[in-house]
A and B are shown apart, each in its own frame.
Chain A
Amino acid sequence: DVKVTQSSRYLVKRTGEKVFLECVQDMDHENMFWYRQDPGLGLRLIYFSYDVKMKEKGDIPEGYSVSREKKERFSLILESASTNQTSMYLCASSWGSGDGYTFGSGTRLTVV
């Protein structure tokens, strides 16, 4: 079974802090994704990566950046956390085209 592990289940951070969310997958997947999940809005894509050191903006990249230095690890960075970034963050990975995702368990981030 593919495992996608997110380092934290719950996080509470202060406004203005730099926040790192980590995601690791163990099945050599090429593609990795970061989504945020908000009630009534579904899952919205923040950033994705299809190769090491490659990254592409998703639909809502503002206020976020990412890093993929190794194939198995994809980090989401909130440069200066704001209260409107309070949300559930989901990491996912997949093989090449034509496959569904495997999701991590999510990180519920609260910015106070």
Chain B
Amino acid sequence: GENVEQHPSTLSVQEGDSAVIKCTYSDSASNYFPWYKQELGKRPQLIIDIRSNVGEKKDQRIAVTLNKTAKHFSLHITETQPEDSAVYFCAASIIQGAQKLVFGQGTRLTINP
């Protein structure tokens, strides 16, 4: 089955710097890759996603890149702000009756003022 590995598990950056979180997946049939942000005590929320026919997608300060050949995708956050502090999860989709998501282990991002 699909396996998603996420690195690093913790990341600390200075406010204003960039942060990069990387994920790899194993199933070449996966075609949808969302990223979720979970603030302390809150539900995970979708922040950006990318489909397998696209190599890069950007939304203001966040961007996601996908390398299908290498089976890895990354989240890039530029000009980080204190409110970016959260746990971030990547996921890859597989079809088994329904489309289901397999999640990475999560990255705790801390923005230092």
Closest-CB distance, A8 to chain B (whole angstroms): 14
Interface string of B71-108 (1 = CB under 8 A from A): 00000000000000000010001011111111111100
Interface string of B29-68 (1 = CB under 8 A from A): 0011010100000111110010100000000000000000
Chain B CB within 8 A of A75 CB? no
Contact A97 B89 (CB under 8 A): no
CB closest chain-A residue, reference B6: A42
Pick from A54, A96, A103: contact of B44, CB below 8 A.
Answer: A103
Contact A42 B98 (CB under 8 A): no
Interface string of A73-112 (1 = CB under 8 A from B): 0000000000000000010001011111111111000000
Chain A CB within 8 A of B9 CB? yes
- Tally of B interface residues using CB under 8 Å: 28
How many angstroms from the CA of A41 to the CA of B5 in the assembled complex? 10
How many angstroms from the CA of A104 to the CA of B42 in the assembled complex? 9
Chain B CB within 8 A of A45 CB? yes
Contacts of B51 in A (CB 8 A): 98
Given contacts A97-B95, A105-B42, is CB(A42)–CB(B100) below 8 Å? no
Contact A103 B100 (CB under 8 A): no
How many angstroms from the CA of A95 to the CA of B61 in the assembled complex? 27
Contact A98 B6 (CB under 8 A): no
Contact B89 A43 (CB under 8 A): yes
The 8 lowest CB-CB distance pairs between A and B, nearest first, are A50-B98, A97-B99, A43-B103, A42-B105, A100-B46, A103-B43, A31-B98, A100-B34
